[in-house]
Amino acid sequence: MQRLSLTARLGLLFMLALTGVLLAAGLTVQHLSRQHFEALDRHALLEKLHASQGILGSLADLDDFAALRPQLHTLLGAHQELRALILDSQGRVLFAEPFLADFPAELRQPGGDLWTWQDGAHLLRGMTTRVPLLGRPEGLTLLLALDVTHHEAFFAALQRWFWIALGVCALLSTGLGWLVARGGLRPLREVTQVAATVSARSLKERIPEATLPVELRPLVSSFNGMLARLDDAFVRLSNFSADIAHELRTPLTQLMTHTEVVLSRARSLEEYQDALYGNLEDLKQMARMIDDMLFLAKADNGLIMPEHKLLALHELAEQLLDYYRLLADDRNITLQLDGTGMIDGDAGMLRRALSNLLSNALRYTPVGGCIRVRIANSCGQVLLGVENPGPSIPVEHLGRLFDRFYRADPARREGGNAGLGLAITRSIVEAHRGSIRCESAGGVTRFELVFPIASTDRSVNAGA
């Protein structure tokens, strides 16, 4: 079943709201009008009752009732819509106006409240009361009733025209609501048209927000933000694809050139072996690069699931420093470790991340320098910093150091480095719910890793 459009639904809601308001207003007016007419009828009846009681109150003997008839006729007979009946204590009719006026027995009992009675086509509203006489406690019974048939006819006509008007208003409000909703949703249609034209070649286009209604600005702002993120991701993906092609083409070209040179003439067994060993080194480099790219692809899709074991970060760092100390001694570089810290993590992954940072530091630390690894605990976090002297990294490159295949400058392309190490390090740190950043100024570069601190109620594991 096809659902109604937003315009149709808004128009329908507008019609229902307006019809509901008109219905409530009409029913309220009708109820108040009935109460008003009832109050007027009560007031008119009370006036006649009080006046009649004043006339009858001077009566001492029923034999003198005939003398009061002219006054009663003048009072009660002048009103064409009024019916009056006076009964004695035995229920005999002493006075009736008009002459044939009569009421059922149940209405002849004094009650004091208004009652209604349907007499054929006439609707009567009246009151029954007892009038005491001088020296006669039983007194007389006085019934007064107003013919309110015209009131009911008025309400019937009012109700009929009200329902007709309500139906017409419902139809008109439906059309008006549709027009209003369609006009109000015009900016949304414009946004939809602009969004429909967005493609990979037009990701830099943005929807202007200044002319939009306030309600649509958050939506458009979010959409523009999404376009910006898509544009950035698309640019990164395009650059990544180009970098992959470039990085893989270099060893492939070397393999092809080397192989062609070897096959250009007959060579000895030792020369063929040397050629194969050279090709093997290039193939290993390509395999490492492919493994690194697969690791990053898993990280992008949240497929890296590190183990959560309690690790002594300082012990893990000490093991790596012992490994790199041989390389550092060849260049007279000092390795220094300060501080301790406990985190929950995967020893293998963290060893790889820290190894990337130490390898990077060794590559760019001048002869005789000192690489410092500092571990500290602060505000429920463990901070691990790797600091080395060397050429400062320009500020404009710091934000992109962790991008794949990105190098700050051509001087950092040496050593067969593919530019994936820092990207892998960031993925590992983020998989451990941590963060990484880099500062470089005054000839000192510092990478700082931040991890959530771990509880110490488990056994400590520094990794094998």
Q: Who has greater pLDDT, 61 or 331?
A: 331
Q: Strand 115-119 vs strand 122-133: parallel, antiparallel, or unpaired?
A: antiparallel
pLDDT value for 464: 42
| Residue 177 covered by a domain | no
Domain CATH number, residue 415 = 3.30.565.10
Residues 11 and 147 in one domain: yes
| Residue 154 covered by a domain | yes
Residues 239 and 374 in one domain: no
Burial classification of residue 169, based on how many CB atoms lie within 10 Å of its CB (0-12 exposed, 13-18 middle, 19 or more buried): middle
pLDDT category of residue 299 using cuts at 50, 70 and 90: low
Residue 354, number of CB atoms within 10 A of its CB: 23
Burial classification of residue 15, based on how many CB atoms lie within 10 Å of its CB (0-12 exposed, 13-18 middle, 19 or more buried): buried
DSSP 88-149: -TTS-EEEEESTT----GGGGS--SS-EEEEETTEEEEEEEEEEEETTEEEEEEEEEEEE-H
pLDDT value for 222: 86
CB 288 within 8 A of CB 411: no
| Residue 226 covered by a domain | yes
Residues 227 and 367 in one domain: no
pLDDT value for 408: 60
- Answer whether residue 370 shows pLDDT above 90: yes
| Residue 431 covered by a domain | yes
Q: Which of 134, 163, 192 is the last residue of a domain?
A: 163
- Answer whether residue 341 shows pLDDT above 50: yes
Using a cut of 0.75, tell me whether the model's pTM lies above it.
Answer: no
Lowest mean pLDDT among 121-125, 206-210, 382-386: 206-210
- Answer whether residue 362 shows pLDDT above 60: yes
Which H helix or E strand runs over 393? none
Cα separation, 33 vs 47, in Å, equals 21
Q: Who has greater pLDDT, 106 or 17?
A: 17
- Answer whether residue 238 shows pLDDT above 80: no
Q: Which three-class secondary structure state does DSSP give residue 441?
A: strand
Residues 293 and 332 in one domain: no
pLDDT category of residue 118 using cuts at 50, 70 and 90: confident
pLDDT value for 455: 65
Q: Is 390 left (phi over 0), alpha (psi -120 to 50) or beta?
A: left
Contacts of 359 (CB under 8 A, 6+ apart): 324, 421
pLDDT category of residue 13 using cuts at 50, 70 and 90: confident
- List C-alpha distances in Å: 279 to 217, 252, 266, 271, 418: 59, 10, 18, 12, 18
pLDDT category of residue 338 using cuts at 50, 70 and 90: very high
Give me the domain span that covers residue 355. Answer: 309-452
| Residue 192 covered by a domain | no
- Answer whether residue 374 shows pLDDT above 90: yes
pLDDT value for 326: 84
pLDDT value for 384: 93
Residue identified by tokens 């950035």 is 232
| Residue 186 covered by a domain | no
Domain CATH number, residue 159 = 3.30.450
Cα separation, 123 vs 38, in Å, equals 13
pLDDT category of residue 445 using cuts at 50, 70 and 90: very high
Residues 352 and 261 in one domain: no
Structural domains in the chain (count): 3
Q: Residue 394, Cα to own-chain centre: how many angstroms?
A: 42
Residues 366 and 227 in one domain: no
Domain CATH number, residue 257 = 1.10.287.130
Sign of CA pseudo-dihedral 390, 251, 291, 433: positive
CB 299 within 8 A of CB 427: yes
| Residue 320 covered by a domain | yes
Residues 361 and 387 in one domain: yes
Cα separation, 158 vs 151, in Å, equals 10
Q: 387-433 pLDDT, tens per residue?
A: 999 888 888 888 777 776 666 655 444 444 556 778 888 888 888 88
Q: 145-186 pLDDT, tens per residue?
A: 888 888 888 888 888 998 898 889 888 888 888 888 887 777
Residues 314 and 447 in one domain: yes
pLDDT value for 75: 84
Q: What percent of the chain has pLDDT over 70?
A: 87
| Residue 85 covered by a domain | yes
Sign of CA pseudo-dihedral 180, 186, 189, 195: negative
Q: Which three-class secondary structure state does DSSP give residue 366?
A: coil
**Triad 100, 101, 106: Cα angle to 5°:** 135
Sign of CA pseudo-dihedral 91, 97, 99, 102: negative
Lowest mean pLDDT among 198-202, 248-252, 370-374: 198-202
Q: Which of 300, 324, 352 is the last residue of a domain?
A: 300
Cα separation, 177 vs 193, in Å, equals 23
Residues 273 and 316 in one domain: no
Residues 367 and 412 in one domain: yes
Q: Who has greater pLDDT, 205 or 50?
A: 50
Residues 12 and 63 in one domain: yes
Q: Which of 125, 147, 163 is the last residue of a domain?
A: 163
pLDDT value for 81: 83
Residues 149 and 232 in one domain: no
The whole-number average pLDDT for the span 214-227 is 82
Q: Who has greater pLDDT, 189 or 374?
A: 374
Cα separation, 393 vs 398, in Å, equals 7
